[in-house]
Amino acid sequence: MQPINLHDYEVLAQRRLARPVWDYYQGGSDDEISLHENRAAFARLRLRPRVLVDVNNCNTATSVLTTEIAMPILIAPTAAHGMAHAAGECATIRGADAAGSGMIVSSNATFSMEDIARASQGLRWYQLYINTLPEAQQQIKRAEAAGYQAIVLTVDTPLLSRRERDRRNNMGNFQRTYYPRAFAGNASYTVEGNLNDSERAIYAGHTLTWDIIAWLRTHTSLPIILKGILTAEDATLAVQYRVAGIIVSNHGGRQLDGTIAPIEALPEIAAAVRGQCEIYLDGGIRRGTDVLKALALGAQAVMIGRPILWGLAVQGSEGVKHVLEILQQELHSAMVLVGSPTVKDITRSLIQ
């Protein structure tokens, strides 16, 4: 079967991946309510198309943090691409470059951030999990040296959720047996260090606080983006702490189950931010019309995770490129049909 949409890639990828790997990529937490709601929330939104608009030169190009990209679609940070393809994240980022998109590279990548950076000439941001502050400081330095253009701090993981598919599959043992380096691209770099009193205060019991942003600023001049914001209250705080961007996200339904879907949270967050930082969204994007809806409700761009892994599993970097191109083509068609010739023309008035 020649895939013509993202759902086709999903079917093909499931045939190629071992059950524990498929469930790791696909699964959510607990009852997977948030996982399924992320898609259902898009289906409930209705478009209000305008007609007799000149859309002969419709263009999907835009920018994020002043970097020009061919489409308002980026690759979300996802772990362990090496379980989907031998070239892992290096193949993924080559596909992103070829499509004119960009990639947020996971801390839990199969390949090192340096190897991934060497495979790319385009937009690349580094997603940071903070396990210890000394280790985080070293990872930031490495990211800067490797040419990453932003730090994306994931803020919704004070602990990992219960992911029952992985427990049933005994995923930990499976991964250690068959893919021992799947998450270990950066694991060989360990740092010992003592915390001062102020650092101890912002990292008590492995729980980050808003003070972590000031700490990050003492260690990097790169833009700081927060991933995992779902409320206007936290969006307002993010603006007060002068972050460059917010990713509206519920971790793909993999953390707290039963949360509001990101597309439902987006309007209140956009209203709270009032253009003071860029807003991105991930979770549930499967069609170009989904991208259009997110842009109409206030997102600068969207990020996709699982579909990229499907493309990678099916056809390596070419599959990644094709997944992005399918979404771009679908977005282009949707823009023509709603009467929005440019990304800037996509406004809240298009949503019922």
Tell me which residues are annotated as active site: 251
Of the candidates 77, 154, 155, the residue with the CA atom closest to the CA atom of residue 116: 77
Please enumerate in sequence order all residues whose Cβ is within 8 A of that of 299, keeping only pairs 6 or more positions apart, or say none.
72, 248, 266, 270, 279, 280, 281
**How is 85-110 classified by DSSP, letter by letter?**
-TTHHHHHHHHHHHHT-EEEE-TT-S
In terms of residues, how long is the chain?
A: 352
Torsional class of 170: left (φ above 0), alpha (ψ -120 to 50), beta (otherwise): left
Kindly tell me the number of DSSP H helices and DSSP E strands found in the chain.
Answer: 14, 10
The alpha carbon of residue 340 and the mean position of all alpha carbons in its chain are separated, in whole angstroms, by: 25
Of the candidates 163, 291, 219, the residue with the CA atom closest to the CA atom of residue 280: 291
CA 34-37-43 angle, to 5 degrees, is 160
Residue 76: DSSP 8-state: P
Please enumerate in sequence order all residues whose Cβ is within 8 A of that of 188, keeping only pairs 6 or more positions apart, or say none.
none
In the three-class reduction of DSSP (H, G, I as helix; E, B as strand; rest coil), residue 59 is classed as strand
Token pair listed for 268:
């209140």
| Residue 142 to residue 128: CA distance in whole angstroms | 12
Of the candidates 129, 125, 127, the residue with the CA atom closest to the CA atom of residue 148: 125
